[in-house]
Amino acid sequence: MRFVHARLWGRVLAGCALLVATGLGGASSASATTPGKGTDGYCQDDNGVTVVVDFQGLGGETLVRCAPGKQENGVTALQNAGFELTGAGKYGLAVMCKIEGKPADQTCTGMPPEKASWSFWTATNGGRWASAQVGAQSWKPPAGAFEGWSFAIGKSYTEYPPPRTEPVRKANAPAPTPASTSDSAFPWGLVIGIVVVVLLVVAGTVVAMRRRRAAE
């Protein structure tokens, strides 16, 4: 009998642990950008700089974010839009090595290779991308401007591609309606799942015990 009880509670605990792990894992969400900085999507007026980051061959969707207000230069606009940056060794952010941790295989101890580098682009709203003639730290973004970063793989400097997203201000999709506090604060689905597992294990154990007694 003790063996039966031990096996019963072993099954219950295993099922509960699986549900807890699944429930907690599904509840978490990761953000690709620095929390508390910038907003997702295009700046809706001239009060800010729209920043476009196109990972190109690195994979991943093109990111568009707004750095609100006046920006000191291209690097501060990138930072204030909420992107995580890594500079190249002693050059710091004057030479961009990684944006949002990409490319992951670069050490950033020195200058990035020419054929695996970020390129810097600028544009006015409704205009065309132009390769920046100055470094990002020297560029003074005009109000309502667009700033673009595009990663080039296997191309020389003169072949670097511009961002594939046009520098045209668009209306942003409405933000999803957050769930009410009462619905999201307590994991009812997780609790119900645990109860179901307990009932199934108990029912299965009772049936097994009856069959054993009948066989005796």
Calpha distance 154→60 (Å, rounded): 18
Q: Are residues 119 and 195 in the same domain?
A: no
H helix count then E strand count, the chain: 4, 8
Q: Quick one: pLDDT band at residue 199, thresholds 50, 70, 90?
A: confident
Residue range of the domain that includes 136:
42-159
Q: Are residues 8 and 95 in the same domain?
A: no
171 assigned to some structural domain: no
Q: What is the pTM of this model?
A: 0.66
Give me the chain's average pLDDT, please.
Answer: 82
35 assigned to some structural domain: no
93 assigned to some structural domain: yes
Contacts of 62 (CB under 8 A, 6+ apart): 52, 53, 54, 55, 163, 164, 165
β 39-40/130-131 pair status:
unpaired
Longest dimension (CA), the chain: 90
112 assigned to some structural domain: yes
Q: Are residues 17 and 102 in the same domain?
A: no
Q: Are residues 47 and 151 in the same domain?
A: yes
pLDDT at 145 exceeding the cut of 80? yes
Per-residue confidence (pLDDT) for residue 87, from 0 to 100: 97
Q: Are residues 68 and 139 in the same domain?
A: yes
pLDDT at 177 exceeding the cut of 60? yes
- Would you say 122 and 159 are in contact if contact means Cβ atoms under 8 Å apart? no
Per-residue confidence (pLDDT) for residue 14, from 0 to 100: 52
Classify residue 43 as exposed, middle or buried by CB count within 10 Å of its CB (0-12, 13-18, 19+).
buried
128 assigned to some structural domain: yes
Q: Are residues 47 and 89 in the same domain?
A: yes
| Higher per-residue pLDDT: 131 or 199 | 131
Q: Are residues 75 and 138 in the same domain?
A: yes
Q: Are residues 56 and 80 in the same domain?
A: yes
Q: Are residues 209 and 143 in the same domain?
A: no
Q: Are residues 192 and 145 in the same domain?
A: no
Q: In the chain, how many domains are there?
A: 2
Task: Give the single-character DSSP code of 90.
Answer: G
Q: Are residues 56 and 124 in the same domain?
A: yes
Percent of the chain with pLDDT over 70: 76
Q: Are residues 93 and 198 in the same domain?
A: no
177 assigned to some structural domain: no
Per-residue confidence (pLDDT) for residue 159, from 0 to 100: 93
State pLDDT tens for residues 107-130: 999 999 999 999 999 999 999 999
Q: Could you tell me which of 105, 133, 99 has the C-alpha nearest to residue 118?
A: 99
State pLDDT tens for residues 19-52: 444 444 443 333 446 777 999 999 999 999 999 9
pLDDT at 1 exceeding the cut of 60? no
34 assigned to some structural domain: no
| Higher per-residue pLDDT: 185 or 119 | 119
- Would you say 40 and 65 are in contact if contact means Cβ atoms under 8 Å apart? yes
Q: Quick one: pLDDT band at residue 190, thresholds 50, 70, 90?
A: confident
Q: Quick one: pLDDT band at residue 7, thresholds 50, 70, 90?
A: low
Q: What's 152's domain CATH number? A: 2.170.130.30
